Chain A
Amino acid sequence: MTDTNDPTASSGSPDARLGVHEATYLAMVGEQLDGLPAATRAELLAVVADHLDERPPALSWDLLLADLGTPATYAAQLVDGPIPRARRTPKQRLQRRRRWMAGLFVAAVAVGLIAPLISRPLRRTIAPPPPVHFSTSCWGVHSDDPRFTFEHLEAAGAQEYRMDYLEGATFNIPLCLSTSQKIEVLDVRAFDDYVENPGALPPSDPRSVPWTYPFRPVGLAPGGFDLDLRTPPTEGSPVALGPNSALDIDLVMQFGTCHVDRGSRTGVSQVMVTYRYDGEEISEVVDLGAAYSVRDVGSCTHES
């Protein structure tokens, strides 16, 4: 861990630490602040980066907007007053005017082409595509890592895997993913359902160790994921998945530093699947067949 008292410094580029949605949001807030002096703008963006880094990762762009508001709203709250509009140079004003003229021309041409088509008496109506439903059909954990042990619990049809581990331990969660429609799977990743206990040990307490992401997917590259032998590896390429097939994925998870935090619970019960369907790229949270939780109170230990 590193510790810095410089309020304007941060370790590494904020964009490198942030997820896709958060990095995009940061950039859009930055655009809203373009009219401010450079130093003020940079300082405010550092604050925004801190905020986005400290929050749990957004499950979707829509949820991020629901939590934080639009970038314009956010920027207004930061500045607490009107944000001066960025001044344009004469060249920029001319370019803007030319873009407007070009846009008007294109719109006029488009209206001229489309009007005869929509005036036809017979029109085809396009039905919306059927929704995509996901399911997972296998569960369990396995590991060759001696630093990892687990206990399988079952009650009222619900399954839970409680795990004990030392820092750095890895384990695998099999994921048999199937879907109701034909899609292209772009990425699958897991994230923790960390629940912070208000009565947790304060960070200044020497018994507590900061812990932000206890699970870090290993082997899940942004463009692909590890597959078992039945499906060829397609790292960097989308994988077609249809209603009559299932995708077997082994999620390789690694425990980071742990947090001795009485009453806290963390675990994995969902994955996020990013896929392409009907020309759109969509990210969706899918429930796993079982919940995988870290036992609270004293189960997390450090290697000596």
Chain B
Amino acid sequence: MREDAFGGGLVDLLVLAAVEGRGESYGYAIAQDLAEAGVTGLGEAAVYACLRRLHKRELLTSRQVVADNGKARRYYALTPAGRAHRDREQATWEATRDAVMKVLATGGGA
């Protein structure tokens, strides 16, 4: 997918869904999951920027786990508000998708 195909709402939806899919996940794993699902064109930096944004809006909680060798991972999980936002974004995306499919099939109009 082209990078400019990602509006802010779609990125939020993808990241929230990826986090929810694992229950709890960290940035690099989320980026890998999205890439494996075929979501290309969304850079790792954009994923981390989205996580930061969602965390600031309290749609995600986070905790950092540091292993004995000093390497760290920050795990994110959805808050109830995050789940509600995810549901709203999914509804928006599905409505958009349906409208696009309708236009492609019929050329739009009534």
Q: Which residue of B lies closest to A77 (CB)?
A: B45
Given A7-B55, A196-B29, A77 contacting B71 (CB threshold 8 A): no
- Docked complex: B62-76 residues within 8 A CB-CB of A: 62-75
Indicate whether A17 sits within 8 Å of B72 (C-beta atoms), given known contacts A11-B64, A202-B23. yes
CA distance A281 to B64 in the complex (A): 35
Q: Contacting B68 at CB < 8 Å: which of A73, A77, A256?
A: A256
Bin the interface of chain A by size. Answer: 35 or more
Docked-complex contact B74 and A54, CB < 8 angstroms: yes
Cβ A1 vs Cβ B68 within 8 A: yes
| Residues 6-30 of B at the A interface (beta carbon under 8 Å) | 22-29
With contact pairs A3-B63, A77-B43, A77-B46 given, residues A203 and B69 touching in the complex (Cβ less than 8 Å): no
Q: A12-B70, A198-B36 are in contact. Are A74 and B45 (CB under 8 A)?
A: yes
Contact with A along B51-65 (1 / 0, CB 8 A): 110010000011111
Residues in A61-97 with C-beta less than 8 Å from chain B: 67-69, 73-74, 77-80
Contact B71 A213, beta carbon cutoff 8 Å: yes
Q: Counting CB contacts under 8 A, is A276 at the interface?
A: no
Residue of B nearest to A11 (CB): B66
Chain A residues whose C-beta falls within 8 Å of the C-beta of B103 in the assembled complex:
none
Is there an interface contact between A43 and B71, defined as CB atoms closer than 8 Å?
A: no
Chain A residue nearest to B51 in the complex (CB)? A47
Q: Contact between B65 and A47 (Cβ–Cβ < 8 Å)?
A: no
Q: Quick one: which of A67, A77, A204, A256 contacts B49, CB cutoff 8 A?
A: A77
Write out the residue numbers on chain B whose beta carbons fall within 8 Å of the beta carbon of A213: 67, 69, 71
A contact residues around B46 at 8 Å (CB): 77
Q: Looking at the assembled complex, report how far the CB atom of B26 sits from the nearest CB atom of chain A, in whole angstroms.
A: 6
Q: Please tell me if the beta carbons of A5 and B62 are within 8 angstroms of each other in the complex.
A: yes
Residues of A contacting B27 in the complex (Cβ-Cβ under 8 angstroms): 50-51, 54
- Bound form: Cα–Cα A245–B32 in Å: 43
- Cβ–Cβ contact B72 & A50, under 8 A: yes
Closest to B45 in A: A77
List the interface of chain B (C-beta within 8 A of A): 22-29, 32-33, 36, 43-46, 48-49, 51-52, 55, 61-75
Q: Which residues of A contact B (CB under 8 A)?
A: 1-7, 9-12, 16-17, 43-44, 47-48, 50-51, 53-55, 67-69, 73-74, 77-80, 196, 198, 202-204, 210-213, 216, 256-257
Can you report 19 residue pairs joining A to B where beta carbons are below 8 Å apart?
A: A1-B68, A3-B66, A7-B55, A10-B72, A11-B70, A12-B66, A12-B70, A48-B48, A50-B72, A53-B71, A53-B72, A53-B73, A54-B29, A54-B73, A67-B44, A73-B45, A74-B45, A78-B45, A210-B65
